[in-house]
Amino acid sequence: MKHSAIRKKFEEHLRTKSLKFTSQRDRIFELAFETHQHFTADTLHAWLKEQDGPPVSRATVYRTLHLLEEGGFIESLDTGRGELVYEHVLGHSHHDHLVCVGCGKIEEFRSEEIERLQEQAAQSRGFVLTSHTLRLEGLCRACAKKPEHAAAAGKAD
């Protein structure tokens, strides 16, 4: 999906909520769709402060990220480290995440076999999937080699 079409859909989403597409929301939208990495609300706020443009409060960042997520433009991922990370999803294929509990690194992956098994599990129970999130937690290669993680790296739940 083209950036202009996504932007138009977001503007329409705001109108359904009787909200305006302000310059602050525009800046947040543009940065969220410009990056190809996972980001926190605080990271996005820091990026905005580094750029020229109308000031954007931390509260506006959180509210706008909520609106973007509510409209299906971005998704959040709870990494278990006390804050959500976000990524834009419109125009991208579904994927799942490996989250390192040592350093917080996030790796994306896609597995047709896992997708098929999840669909089969839902169908066998009469469940119609509308969406899903799969987050696998463990230690990345670098953290698994660290002495303080040696015991955990040798066993899996």
Residue bearing tokens 């202009």: 4
- The distance of Cα 101 from the centroid of its chain, to the nearest Å, equals 17
- pLDDT score of 155 more than 70: no
pLDDT digits (tens, 9 = 90+) for 70-129: 999 999 998 888 889 999 987 677 889 999 988 889 999 999 999 999 999 999 999 998
What's the Rg (C-alpha) of the chain?
18
Where does 1-92 sit in CATH, by number? 1.10.10.10
CATH of 93-157, one of 3.20.10.10, 3.30.1490.190, 2.40.50.140, 3.40.50.2300: 3.30.1490.190
pLDDT digits (tens, 9 = 90+) for 3-59: 899 999 999 999 999 999 999 999 999 999 998 889 999 999 999 999 999 999 999
Rounded to 5 degrees, φ, ψ at 110 are: -135, 135
Q: How far apart are CA 119 and CA 129, in angstroms?
A: 7
